[in-house]
Amino acid sequence: MWCGASITASVTYLGQDQFQVQLVNNTENKTYRATAAFSADRYSAEWIAEAPSEASGELPLADFGSVGFTNCSAVISGNKVPISGADWEDINMTNSHGQVKGVTSALNQTGDGFTVAWESN
């Protein structure tokens, strides 16, 4: 269902410790939405490709090729800015043994996207 799909994701602060997460599968024209209450500092934004895990630890990571993040932005002091408009830190995905499993690229030319490529060791 999600493999090869174009997905749009957003997290919106609704006030009073309420957040809404929305995923739109643009390929299948389906929307998934959830609201949750929790306390958060709200001073950072993250775009993450992450290996699956369960209570007992990390699960094997399949060769996902690469995943692209595009048109990424955050609202800072009421202004929508691309990733390059804030402090950017790229972090490679590693497993519990310190092996790199996903390599994060530099930002694209417009400063609003990057890719994470699967790495075999």
CA atoms within 13 A on the CB side of 32: 8
Instruction: Please name the CATH architecture into which domain 51-121 falls.
Output: Sandwich (2.60)
- Residues with Cβ within 8 Å of residue 70, at least 6 apart in sequence: 108, 112, 113
pLDDT in tens, 22-72: 999 999 999 999 999 999 888 888 999 988 889 988 888 889 999 999 999
Using one digit for the tens of pLDDT, what is the confidence trace for 70-106?
A: 999 998 888 899 999 888 999 999 988 899 999 999 9
Q: What is the pTM of this model?
A: 0.82
Nearest Cα residue to 69 out of 2, 3, 8, 4: 8
DSSP 3-state of 115: strand
Going by C-alpha positions, the residue among 5, 47, 49 that lies closest to residue 29 is: 5
